[in-house]
Amino acid sequence: MAMILVVDDDETILVSVAELLELEGFSVSTASNGLEALDRTREQQPALVLLDMRMPVLDGWAYARALSEQGLPRPKIVIMTAAHDARRWADEIGADAYVPKPFEADQLIAAVTEIVGSPT
């Protein structure tokens, strides 16, 4: 089963997205910033990272750059952001898709299953 890493500094979003994906049957891990996300990526090699862009410690841009610099296998990336220029940000880091915040549960599940398939 594909593992999904959820990265967001907003605890409410982090927990609700992780719980939603787990209820759908996905294997989920979480990180509250890009530095933690790098550690999880190294340890767990997620198939998909749901990535907030604006975070303390290490933001989404720095996370994506560090993947390349450290030679880590690059997972698929879907950015989650409230920014009006979400598409441009996704393009800047080579993300596979983006989901604008606030999003509906169905939007998020559709984006995830489009990239990694259903959990079963």
pTM, whole model, 2 decimals?
0.95
Q: Which of 1, 2, 10 is nearest to 82 (CA)?
A: 10
Q: What is the model's pLDDT at position 27?
A: 97
Identify the band that residue 77 occupies on the pLDDT scale cut at 50, 70 and 90.
very high
Which residue(s) pair with 52 in the sheet? 80
> What domains, with CATH codes, occur in the chain?
3-116 (3.40.50.2300)
Express each pLDDT in 17-75 by its tens digit.
Answer: 999 999 999 999 999 999 999 999 999 999 999 999 999 999 999 999 999 999 999 99
List all residues 6 or more positions away from 19 whose beta carbon is below 8 Å from its beta carbon.
none
Please say whether the beta carbons of 101 and 81 come within 8 A: yes
